[in-house]
Amino acid sequence: MRTQVAIIGAGPAGMLLSHLLAAEGVGSVVVETRSEEYVASRIRAGILEQSTVDLLRATGLGERLDAEGHRHRGIYLQWPGERHHLDFVDLTGRSVWVYGQTEVQKDLVAARTAAGQQVYYEVGDTALHDLETDHPSVTFTDASGAEVRVRADAVAGCDGSFGPSRCAVPSSVRQQWERVYPYSWLGILADVAPSTDELIYAWHPDGFALHSMRSSSVSRFYVQVPNDTSLDDWSDDRIWTALADRLGHGQDGWSLETGPITDRSVLPMRSFVATPMRHGRLFLAGDAAHIVPPTGAKGLNLAVADVALLAPALAALVRGSSSLADSYSDTALRRVWRCTHFSWWMTSMLHTSGDPFDAELQLSQLRWVCSSRAGAAGLAENYAGLPIGF
C-alpha cells in the first residue's frame, strides 16, 4: 500500500498529526498496537495549555472542549499553613483548561473516523525500513494476521516511550539524556466533586500531593510515594488520610471531600530526551522523543507542539521542499528542553527528598515564587505555555 506519511502510534501525537496533515491535503496511514478502546480509555493527562487549546480550536476540534472543558485562571501552590493562588491570566494573559486526554483522544478519533482516515489497530511486529532513502516503508502484521507493507514519502514515529521508532535512529547518531527520580506518584480517580476551584500543588514534609479534577463530579489526586510502592500497601483509608494531611484538610476552614475511588495506579517519574528528532525520512514526535515528569503538566502539550511543527514540515517535504523538515529537530528541541527544565524544576521544588537542607531551599523557593511578581510570572509563563515555535 502507498501513502504520503506512515504514522506509527494512534495516541494524541499520531492522531493529531494525521488530522493536521489532512488539513494540508496530505494523506497518511496510522498503525497502532493496541485496540481503539484501549487507547481511548487510558487515563493520563488532564491539563491543556493555551497554545494547545488555540490549535485544537483552529483545526475544528474545539467544540466539545469549549462545551465541557473548564478554563482555569491559574493554580494554587501551598505548604503547611499557607495556600497561595497564582493568577496566570493576570501574570501573562494566558490560561489553561481542564480537559482530559481521554476526551482529546475521543475528539481526534471522531474527527478522523468522519474523514475516513485509515487506522490499523491491534497490529504486531511493526518495523521501519529504508529510512535513509526517499522511499521508506513500515511493515506490520494486521489484526487478521496478514503481513502489510506501507510505502511512504516519510515516516512519523509517534509511538510513545516504548515504541520501535526511537531505536530506528542509529546509535552512532542518537544521543540520550535521562534523569530518574527517587520517587513515584500514586494517582487515583474518584467520584467526588472537586474540593477546589483550581488545581492545588502541595509541598508537605510527608511528600508532595496534587488535587486535580476531570469534571464537576470527578476528581483526580496524586501523592508522592517511594519507588516500587505496591498498591496493596495503600488502602482507600490510607490514601484519603495522606491526601487530607498533605492538602491541608482543616486549614483555614478548608475540607477535602472524599468519594469512591474508581481507578488507581503508581507512576514512576523520569525526564528523558533523545536527539536528533529526525533521521533521514523518520521524524519523531511526542513521548517517542521525550518524557517529562508530570509535575509541570507538559507531556501531552509537548506532543501537540511537536506535531504542530511537524505537519507543515512534512507537507512541504512531500511537495519537494525540505527546509522545514531540515530544521524540525532543532526547532522542536528548543521547546522540548524548555519544558524539560520546567518539569524538572517544578518536580524538584515540590517533592521531598528527606534532606532537611533541601526542604529549607524548597520552602524558600516557594515563598519567593508566591510573593514576587517576577517569580510568579516565570512559573505562569511556563505552565500556561509558550507560543508554538518558541
For ligand RFL, the binding residues (CB under 6 A) are 8-14, 31-34, 39, 44-47, 101, 123, 126, 158-160, 162-164, 187, 267, 286-287, 294, 297-301, 303
Q: Give the active site residue among 12, 19, 72, 194.
A: 72
Residue 297 C-beta: closest distance to ligand PHB, Å: 4
Concatenate the DSSP letters of all residues of 302-348 into one string. Answer: HHHHHHHHHHHHHHHHHTT--HHHHHHHHHHHHHHHHHHHHHHHHHH
Task: Please say if 383 is a catalytic residue.
Answer: yes
101-114 helix and 12-23 helix, angle to the nearest 10 degrees: 40
CA 225 – CA 231 distance, rounded (Å): 10
Cell of 54: 488555540
> Which span (45-53, 80-88, 278-286, 312-320) binds ligand PHB, by CB under 6 A?
45-53
- Binding of ligand PHB by 47 (CB under 6 A): yes
Cell of 55: 490549535
Chain-centre distance for alpha carbon 155:
22
Q: 268 or 360: whose CB is closer to ligand RFL?
A: 268
Site string for ligand PHB, 178-207 (x = CB under 6 A): ---------------------x--------
Q: Give the active site residue among 99, 120, 222, 383.
A: 383
- Binding of ligand PHB by 46 (CB under 6 A): yes
Question: For residues 282 and 159, is the Cβ–Cβ distance under 8 A?
Answer: no
Question: For residues 76 and 123, is the Cβ–Cβ distance under 8 A?
Answer: no
Question: Which of ligand PHB, ligand RFL, none is residue 220 near (CB under 5 to 8 Å by kind)?
Answer: ligand PHB
Site string for ligand PHB, 210-239 (x = CB under 6 A): --x-------x-------------------
- Binding of ligand PHB by 295 (CB under 6 A): yes
CA 320 – CA 62 distance, rounded (Å): 32
CA 309 – CA 385 distance, rounded (Å): 15
Residues within the interface to ligand PHB (CB under 6 A)? 45-47, 199, 212, 220, 294-295, 297
> Could you list the active site residues?
72, 201, 294, 298, 383
